[in-house]
A and B are shown apart, each in its own frame.
Chain A
Amino acid sequence: MDKLLSIFRPSTGSRELRRQPLFTGMSWLVLLFLYAPIAVLVVFSFNDNRSVVRWTEFSLRWYAAALENDDIRRSAMISIQVAFTATVFSTIIATMAALATTRGGVYRGRSAAIALINQPLMIPEIVTAIATLAFFSILRQLTGVTGIGWLILAHTVFCVPFAYMPIRARLSDMSVTYEAAAADLYATPWQTFRHVTLPLLMPGVMAGAMLAFVVSLDDVIITLLVAGPGETTLPIYILGQIRRGVTPEVNAISTILIGLTVAMVTLTFFLQRKRK
């Protein structure tokens, strides 16, 4: 019967249906498209030549030059200071919010709360940037407070949803039975959180913190508009350099940044996979 039917069937065998041969080739091409430009950048950062075009010899001179550059060192320190502080605050805030949206039961306004937390993701960054600038310029005038705190505050706001996602995912995958058991044994809510929920949640918290750190470290548009004088972060410095012209030094510092991001995201990826 099966053989009889196959006469009427279109030519391809049924097992082959899920495979679209054209798609396989395209997928590899897309992968090439995604990685080739970055690969060129990384390779030429090790080139011992001022031109970023012709390969001469392997060298680390641009890394040495980048690390000795005072402007780069200063902006790297500012970047780390902002990213670290924003990460700590946004992760704490996101963890609390994740607890309230997964452990608080079902209640009215929960989906509205989740939507508000994700709000920074739904608005074009340039709009957030100018709105924040406008608001901060009023606050700066009213309070007379200046300094890097404003930049850190702006970063904290857009880091919250990124930290929130993996923490919430982890929490909703975690069974509540351990917490219920702790409560049955007369643990106070704080004790339950401190000794049961938090240790189990830790991989999610770490993943959230790392994503927040990466997102803060990479930000250009909001920082460009909100940062005051002398608050140049590393991406802003790089942008300024690119505007002036292509230099191998920028390749070197970019490669370092890419390496840092790849390391952190890879770690996050494995932290999240562990739960399965």
Chain B
Amino acid sequence: MGVAANISQPDAATRLRAAQEERARQRRRTRLLLLAPALGIIGIFGLFPLSIALVYSFLEPGTYGGVEWVFSYDAYVQFLFERDIFDDTLAFNSAYLQIFGRSFGLAITTMIGTLILGFPVAYFIAARPPEQRNFWLFAITLPFWTNLLIRTYSMLLIVRDEGFVNLMLMKIGLISEPLEMLYTDGAVLAGLVYSYLPFMILPIYASLEKFDFSLLEAGHDLFATRTQVFRHIIIPITRPGIVAGCVLVLIPALGAYITPELLGGGKKLMIGNLIALQFGSGRNWPFGAAAALILMAIVLIALLVSLRAGASKEGGHG
């Protein structure tokens, strides 16, 4: 103790460093304690269950739902082939491939549809004076928070045989018999575009929000036509927003459940319905888990492609 009384210069530096280290350690500890609940709950109950689903997909279905703990890759075989119950031979069956194909087609069409409808809106909002932007942004975001089920139901009310659209068309005299719109791919597509349009508009808007529109005039001064200005200025600037919007629409559209359920009437199945069916009345949990994992794989590929698409041509930024 007595020695510490006459501190030499290097001693002070060491103690200072020790104090700093102590504080850094304390900060790290606080940080970890603060992060632990979020990472714990999402890691254990959000991420880990995915590996359970992986395990389930390699088991045999239980008679009353659930699984039998017997290894089997039947779930994946079943995806492409049908097993004959009498002689156990496999025959090619494209029914499930068709469902995946339909989902993919509908999701991509939804993506293109939301882009065609959403891009002009995003551009329009960004070109507004700031005080008007807030109104538009609010108007576009509000439906996103409204219950998806209820919005789909409202779509159903509109496209039914005795729904609003048919009623109006018949009143004008354009048609005499109601058009059968419900339970078609068109109705599902309309529902999907309706549900996920805000996901396309918001990221494109975000990429245009800080855009200096006088650049357009600069382009114009350099004798660019309207189309050229659009192609060489606007499109490169909004590219990250378009890519983000496409991903944000594609992922939920691929896994859609409510929209095809209500507007497709159970006849036009999508992957989401197929999966849910296996965990419900289908009582084939392993097959449902396998279908879910294939969906996950498609989503991951889409994400990777989008990362590439978003990263390349970064030079386009002015």
CB of A126 within 8 A of CB of B255, answer yes
Scan A188-214; emit 1 where CB is below 8 A from any B CB, else 0. 010000000000000000000001001
CB of A137 within 8 A of CB of B66, answer yes
CB of B47 within 8 A of CB of A127, answer no
The CA of A5 and the CA of B223, in the complex, are separated in Å by 9
The CA of A137 and the CA of B64, in the complex, are separated in Å by 13
CB of B52 within 8 A of CB of A135, answer yes
| Chain A residues positioned under 8 Å from B155 (CB to CB) | 37
The CA of A211 and the CA of B144, in the complex, are separated in Å by 11
Q: Is B71's beta carbon under 8 Å from chain A?
A: no
Cβ-neighbour of A258 out of B45, B147, B275, B293 (below 8 A): B147
CB of B167 within 8 A of CB of A153, answer no
Known: A14-B220, A120-B42, A242-B156. A134 touches B295 (CB 8 A): no
Query: Can you pick out 16 interface pairs between chain A and chain B where the beta carbons lie within 8 Å of each other?
Result: A5-B221, A8-B223, A23-B121, A27-B120, A27-B125, A92-B37, A104-B34, A107-B31, A119-B47, A122-B251, A124-B254, A126-B257, A127-B50, A154-B45, A164-B38, A225-B276
Stretch at the interface among B7-15, B73-81, B134-142: B134-142
Cβ-neighbour of A127 out of B32, B197, B255, B258 (below 8 A): B255
CB of B147 within 8 A of CB of A261, answer yes
Residues of A179-236 at the interface with B, using a CB-CB cut-off of 8 Å, are: 189, 211, 214, 217-218, 220-221, 224-225, 235
CB of B295 within 8 A of CB of A225, answer no
Q: Is B148's beta carbon under 8 Å from chain A?
A: yes
| Chain B residues positioned under 8 Å from A133 (CB to CB) | 279
Cβ-neighbour of A119 out of B42, B153, B163 (below 8 A): B42
The CA of A125 and the CA of B195, in the complex, are separated in Å by 14
Scan B189-226; emit 1 where CB is below 8 A from any A CB, else 0. 00000100110000000000000010011001101011
Q: Is B308's beta carbon under 8 Å from chain A?
A: no
CB of A17 within 8 A of CB of B35, answer no
Q: Is A20's beta carbon under 8 Å from chain B?
A: yes
Cβ-neighbour of A116 out of B43, B157, B254, B288 (below 8 A): B43
Scan B290-301; emit 1 where CB is below 8 A from any A CB, else 0. 001101100100
Interchain nearest-CB distance for A96 vs B (Å): 4
The CA of A26 and the CA of B272, in the complex, are separated in Å by 32
| Chain B residues positioned under 8 Å from A5 (CB to CB) | 221
| Chain A residues positioned under 8 Å from B216 (CB to CB) | 17-18
CB of A160 within 8 A of CB of B41, answer yes
The CA of A94 and the CA of B39, in the complex, are separated in Å by 10
Other than the given A127-B255, A254-B150, 8 more pairs (CB < 8 A) read A18-B127, A27-B121, A31-B140, A34-B140, A119-B47, A124-B296, A156-B41, A218-B146
CB of B258 within 8 A of CB of A134, answer no
CB of A30 within 8 A of CB of B143, answer no
| Chain A residues positioned under 8 Å from B307 (CB to CB) | none
Q: Is A60's beta carbon under 8 Å from chain B?
A: no
For the complex, would chain A's binding face be called helix, strand, loop or mixed by DSSP majority?
Answer: helix
CB of B120 within 8 A of CB of A257, answer no
The CA of A30 and the CA of B196, in the complex, are separated in Å by 12
CB of B53 within 8 A of CB of A127, answer yes
Q: Is A117's beta carbon under 8 Å from chain B?
A: yes
CB of A105 within 8 A of CB of B27, answer yes
Q: Which 8 A-B pairs have the closest CB atoms?
A: A124-B255, A131-B49, A97-B38, A100-B34, A135-B49, A37-B154, A23-B120, A104-B31
Cβ-neighbour of B257 out of A218, A221, A235 (below 8 A): A221
Residues of B101-128 at the interface with A, using a CB-CB cut-off of 8 Å, are: 117-118, 120-121, 123-125, 127
Residues of A26-64 at the interface with B, using a CB-CB cut-off of 8 Å, are: 26-27, 30-31, 33-38, 40-41, 44, 52-53
| Chain A residues positioned under 8 Å from B56 (CB to CB) | 134
CB of B52 within 8 A of CB of A134, answer yes
CB of B194 within 8 A of CB of A124, answer no
CB of B251 within 8 A of CB of A124, answer yes
The CA of A137 and the CA of B220, in the complex, are separated in Å by 64
Q: Is B158's beta carbon under 8 Å from chain A?
A: yes
| Chain B residues positioned under 8 Å from A34 (CB to CB) | 139-140, 143, 194, 197-198
CB of B292 within 8 A of CB of A130, answer yes
CB of B275 within 8 A of CB of A126, answer yes
Cβ-neighbour of B120 out of A20, A37, A104 (below 8 A): A20
